[in-house]
């Protein structure tokens, strides 16, 4: 598994597109921070914070879905997967090694670009509170985590890179772009007493929505979700909130990896 991790890390860091992400994140964050230069500073959920969260929600899931799915389908299309099947490497070791290499590379480039943007912001006189910085950073890393796993799952299902790209964009469009509209349309068809539990179920099914709500509640801005989420707000603000987040991430990892490994085992004999 260590060799697979090293191989994936070297493959990612040798690509020119990898360093384009570094430039992209530095530009995006630096421009957003400069917008807040004349205000008191960033320490809570302000308009600028909401803009940053939305931009992260738009960009990170799409990039991670494409990178994750292409990582698998590239090897399936090139025949490298068949070659790997002749080696004494188990499918769980192959999958964990690939995931470890990808998430290390993506977390490293994001951390580096985020640090550069912070330095630019601080040198230009922008006041950034440490809890705010950690909140945005944690939110970004968790988005990378959940959508990279989902991208790897899509890669085990797709037959070609083209199908992987179509699947990635479709999933991103549904979970990020039209999720609120789809939710309103579906909830309008069910009896009123079922709306409340279905909204909570929908929050759990969409990891991006779960993370967004969790982050905003941690900034003491949970009131914007209305009375339906009062129970969720109290739960996430309690001592069990962080435990629930960790449990959710572990359960998500186990479920997605189990399904992905199942698909890969089926493709091993095709």
CA distance 260 to 52: 32
What are the residues whose beta carbons fall under 8 Å from the beta carbon of 200, sequence distance 6 or more? Answer: 232
Confidence of residue 270 (pLDDT cuts 50, 70, 90): low
Q: What is the mean pLDDT of the chain?
A: 82
Predicted local distance difference test score (pLDDT) of residue 195: 80
What are the residues whose beta carbons fall under 8 Å from the beta carbon of 119, sequence distance 6 or more? Answer: none
Predicted local distance difference test score (pLDDT) of residue 62: 92
CA distance 19 to 13: 8
Tell me which residue of 162, 208, 175 sits closest to 69, measured CA to CA.
Answer: 162
Q: Are 13 and 107 in contact (CB under 8 A)?
A: no
CA distance 217 to 214: 5
Angle between helices 195-205 and 207-218 in degrees, nearest 10: 100
Q: Angle CA(53)–CA(233)–CA(139) in degrees, nearest 5?
A: 25
What separation in angstroms does the CA of 165 have from each of 150, 169, 172? Answer: 13, 6, 11
pLDDT tens-digit series, residues 13-45: 777 777 777 788 888 877 777 766 666 555 566
Q: Are 80 and 72 in contact (CB under 8 A)?
A: no
Which pTM was predicted?
0.87
Q: Once rounded to an integer, what is the mean pLDDT over residues 151-165?
A: 88
Q: Are 257 and 148 in contact (CB under 8 A)?
A: no
Higher pLDDT, 106 or 11: 106
Give me the DSSP letters along 189-243: TS-GGGHHHHHHHHHHH-HHHHHHHHHHHHTT-GGGG-GGGHHHHHHHHSTTHHH
Asked if the model's pLDDT at residue 169 lies above 90, the reply is yes
Predicted local distance difference test score (pLDDT) of residue 269: 64
b/e map 36-54, b = 16+ CB within 10 Å: beeeeebeebbeebeebbe
């Amino acid at each position: 598994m260590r060799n697979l991790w090293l191989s994936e890390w070297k493959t990612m860091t040798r690509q020119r597109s990898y360093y384009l992400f570094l430039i992209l994140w530095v530009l995006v964050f630096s421009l957003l921070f400069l917008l807040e230069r004349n205000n008191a500073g960033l320490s809570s959920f302000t308009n600028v914070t909401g803009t940053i969260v939305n931009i992260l929600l738009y960009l990170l899931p799409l990039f991670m879905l494409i990178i994750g799915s292409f990582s698998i389908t590239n090897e399936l299309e090139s025949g490298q997967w068949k070659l790997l099947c002749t080696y004494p490497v188990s499918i769980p070791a192959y999958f964990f090694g690939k995931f470890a290499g990808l998430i290390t590379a993506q977390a490293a480039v994001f951390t580096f670009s985020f640090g550069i943007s912070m330095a630019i912001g601080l040198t230009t006189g922008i006041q950034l509170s440490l809890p705010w910085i950690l909140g945005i950073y944690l939110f970004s890393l968790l988005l990378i985590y959940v959508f990279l796993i989902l991208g790897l799952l899509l890669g085990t299902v797709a037959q070609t890179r083209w199908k992987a790209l179509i699947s990635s964009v479709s999933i991103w469009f549904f979970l990020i772009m039209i999720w609120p509209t789809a939710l309103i349309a579906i909830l309008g068809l069910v009896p009123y007493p079922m709306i409340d539990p279905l909204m909570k179920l929908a929050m759990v099914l969409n990891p991006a929505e779960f993370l967004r709500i969790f982050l905003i509640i941690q900034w003491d801005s949970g009131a914007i979700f209305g009375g339906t989420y009062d129970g969720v707000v109290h739960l996430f603000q309690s001592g069990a909130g962080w435990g629930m987040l960790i449990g959710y991430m572990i359960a998500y990892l186990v479920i997605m990896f189990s399904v992905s490994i199942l698909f890969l085992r089926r493709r091993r004999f095709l």
